[in-house]
Structure 1
């Protein structure tokens, strides 16, 4: 149940104080036309006042039509009526006061607030209070989104802090680990890795680089090429409008690395910055900020959004389905803060991102084929102890669809590897080192991608090279002598070490 009480003011181009009768007729007509559907009154103008060049209305509603959605229709009708007879135009609308009351599915666990309005909640009953709202605010449809946001924030309180939905669907046999050491720590001791130069980043010397590049080669040769995937190359930098469409901007803005551009390339504008740098031999941050534009993009968080963007507004020929592409050039960046560990939980990482677009049937068949290729790699080449679990992707958690039985065709499969250095396999945390997702029409709709005839779905399956490397080395060690024969076919010996004096 929703009740709306709105007080609005129309600013007119002339004095209408003598047109009381005309306005009475207009209000009566509006109540029986715009604000009514059949016998049902969707909303009603309770009363009005006119004063020189302004018309003030009070509108209430307990029906399906929300008063703020009717205001623009009323403005158009009023403009037509006044302009035709009295040559008076409507210059603008202002909502002076707006109270929206509605029921919630659940009682909130803590206070809820949103921008632009005051929110009051008693039990399962919420009230939003707005004042001095502009016509532009109406046209941008903020108010409906504000109502939805209050409901969403209350629902989110019931799954915040809960464990991710997780259901085991397959596991390998137990394998005896070669060792029980942390591979990152051991590679650092061997001087294969150097941490830095900034937080959550690593410098890979030839030995570690050779292992990562081998992982890349195996993924392409053993998984992607046999299934017909083709390589594309995309930019590292993603504009905000792409993340807005995919939902990443509202889902995890606190994990992005943001990109800014210089305000100008004119050296004269940078003269003081250069002088300070030369004199102090430090970066004058405050002076730098004066010469930078506001952020409008970020470094790649995941490669798939830009791949979807490349198909924006396109109609794909039936003979081209399914579309199978992957990117391996864009380096991903995620701000991990206190969650960093080793090379597997970092701020900067290297990944291959396969994206697939096709019919539901095509993608479900592809999923099974991809699972078989991954099993081949992890069983026959890596000889890993690992398992697969059905989980809920982040955007479904945001929508509260944890464990929803209606999402069995869509969702994510996580691949997890036992990490011997973390302890007993039953009690320790396994490493999520691979995933495979079928995302339905979420991104297809967001980017208006179509086929000639078919309804399209899409999905992705990020292949993290650091994760593959960590899972493999945690079980098989850093000595190539102990590596499985299947892996040694791809990398039998490591590059010679660089000696430091």
Structure 2
């Protein structure tokens, strides 16, 4: 890549008297400061001031560079030494740095970069985009010093470009075949997320499956549950009222999962917060991947006048004045827990752990998880609000992967004991990678970030996912600054046991007649009764 910068250095007063010293400084900067870190013989990868002019209190400057010392970094490099030089002799200080025009030339073609043209045209930060035979030119204008220091330019480049050799073509082809076989539309594989470059086994590949067991139900689980009064629709989209029978069955599954998986592996129960600060989600990189998949929460402002107006309008019109309500809310500061494991990483953030005290293994079953499924919500198998048991742990790399594998093996054993048909595949959407295109922090990733276990649903090609077993490598230990006392590497992992999904898969195979349920469920199921309501549940005509 090449970087062509036109910018301005503004001093606190007229600097024309310092012109001679500035000229000497620029010559020295081109020889030393702007080549620091560049190997001998690769000077073109460094930066160079190619033109400059001083007028009044402004130094106009042009910098050209390669990728090792990018022009905007070069501009920052010269600020301090230039200030030190001119401050003593001329009492000059630098008031601000500014990039007026910045062109980034990105090579394309064989072995170079793949550019997401649609994304480039959608980014408001990019002022111009030119496509040439074997390169593109991205132009960004009006960049402040603060924006330079935040490395916004580097992030834009990372966001829109992918090095072609980073994508394993054979893996892409295998994945494409797998996706098409599953009946999903094929997509531009160059637009796939980090799962491609991380996972060493083809995502979607089935790695284990159960034998066949007898099923007793045909039909739609959700419709039957409504008919029997086990659940009732709720005004909120993707939400349900779960009645006594469904709740009793969930409690039975909860007890069985804890007895047969969680406690066997020695996890300790905690109560995790479900209102998660947005900065926590940012450290998880969740905002980089699926910002559209969460519910955002705003606290009310301390503005009684706005809420008095709100109450008055509501009283008079009997319609909720949404504009007034919005004006009374602060900017979103929280999200409702979308992963459930978020508090674990905050609990360990900036802490030091001795490896002799590992592993640390917690689990939480204290409440709801929330995800916005957009148009994907349907029935009780794909909802916005659901319950699960979340296991999360930290250990040395090999041990972290072993714990994940144990949670999966015990899940297999339990499903087989319950005479449920299941299969496990390589996950194609690890929650901490989903939607993300780049990772530039040198994170260690496991060969398989995610395994997903599904219960078969009679009549459907795709089963319902009941277990998501993940290893994150150093993704969260780096993001939350979690350290080992001897500077050894620590990994984290989490396994989600989806209670709502277990219920759906169980009922889809075994039905609502208790006589067809396995003894393990019968022994834990507490019989209840439907309250007598004249108008509910609706009788089937």
Cα-to-partner distance string for 1:114-149 (whole Å, 9 max, x where unaligned): 331233334552322122211111111111111111
Question: Matched residue of 1:384: which SS?
Answer: coil
Question: Where does residue 429 of structure 2 map in the other structure?
Answer: 393
> Residue deviations 1:245-284, cap 9 Å, x none?
11211211111111011011x5444211111122222311
**1:159 to partner: Cα distance:** 4.5
Q: Distance in 2 between matches of 1:410 and 1:225?
A: 25
What secondary structure sits across from 1:72 in the alignment? helix
- 1:425 aligns with none
- The answer on whether the counterparts of 2:426 and 2:448 sit within 8 Å (CA) in structure 1 is no
1:131 to 124, 135, 141: 141
Answer yes or no: is 1:296 the counterpart of 2:329.
no
Within the candidate set 362, 369, 393, 1:356 is matched to: 393
Query: Residues 313-347 of structure 1: CA distance to partner in whole angstroms, max 9, x if unpaired?
Result: 11123233111001112411111122122111001
Q: What are the within-5 Å matches in structure 2 for residues 58-457 of structure 1?
A: 58-62=62-66, 64-104=68-108, 105-108=112-115, 110-113=117-120, 114-118=123-127, 119-122=129-132, 125-152=135-162, 157-160=188-191, 165-264=203-302, 267-380=304-417, 382-394=418-430, 395-396=432-433, 398=435, 409-422=447-460, 428-453=461-486, 454-457=488-491
For the residues of structure 2 that align with 1:259 and 1:397, how far apart are their CA atoms? 22
Answer whether contact 1:106 1:124 (CA < 8 A) is retained.
no
1:462 maps onto 2:496 in alignment: yes
Deviations 1:405-425 (A, max 9, x none): x96644111111111143xxx
Distance across 1 between alignment mates of 2:371 and 2:138: 35
| Contact map agreement 1:410 1:439 (CA 8 A) in 2 | no
CA distance in 2, matches of 1:419, 1:308: 35
Distance, in Å, in 1 between the alignment partners of 2:163 and 2:270 is: 38
Distance 1:397 1:5, change over 3 A: same
- 1:329 alignment partner, SS class: coil
Alignment-derived partner of residue 539 in structure 2:
none
Q: Please tell me whether the aligned partners of residues 393 and 411 of structure 1 are also in contact (alpha carbons under 8 angstroms).
A: no
Tell whether the 8 Å contact from 1:10 to 1:55 is kept in structure 2 after alignment.
Answer: yes
Normalised by the size of structure 2, how large is the TM-score?
0.85
Q: 1:135 to 1:407 in 2, by over 3 A?
A: closer
Q: What TM-score does the superposition give when structure 1 sets the normalisation length?
A: 0.92
Q: RMSD across aligned C-alpha pairs, in angstroms? A: 2.3
Deviations along 1:96-131, whole A, 9 cap, x unmatched? 111111224454475332331233334552322122
Distance change >3 Å, CA 63–CA 249, structure 1 → 2 = closer
**Residues 128, 431 of structure 1: alpha-carbon distance in 2 compared, 3 angstrom cutoff:** same
Q: Residues of 1 paired with 2:465 and 2:67: CA distance?
A: 49
Structure 1's unaligned 5+ residue stretches are: 423-427
C-alpha distance 63-474 of structure 1, shift in aligned 2 (>3 A): closer
Distance in structure 2 (CA, Å) of the matches to 1:256 and 1:122: 39
Unaligned runs of 5+ in 2: 168-186, 197-201, 439-443, 535-541
C-alpha spacing 1:123/1:240, structure 2 compared with 1 (3 Å): farther
In the other structure, the counterpart of 1:12 is 11
Deviation at 1:239?
1.4
Contact 1:388 1:414 in 2 (8 A): yes
Q: CA shift at 1:26, angstroms?
A: 1.2
Output one character per residue of 1:369-392: Cα deviation in whole Å (capped at 9) or x when no partner. Answer: 223321232111x21011111223
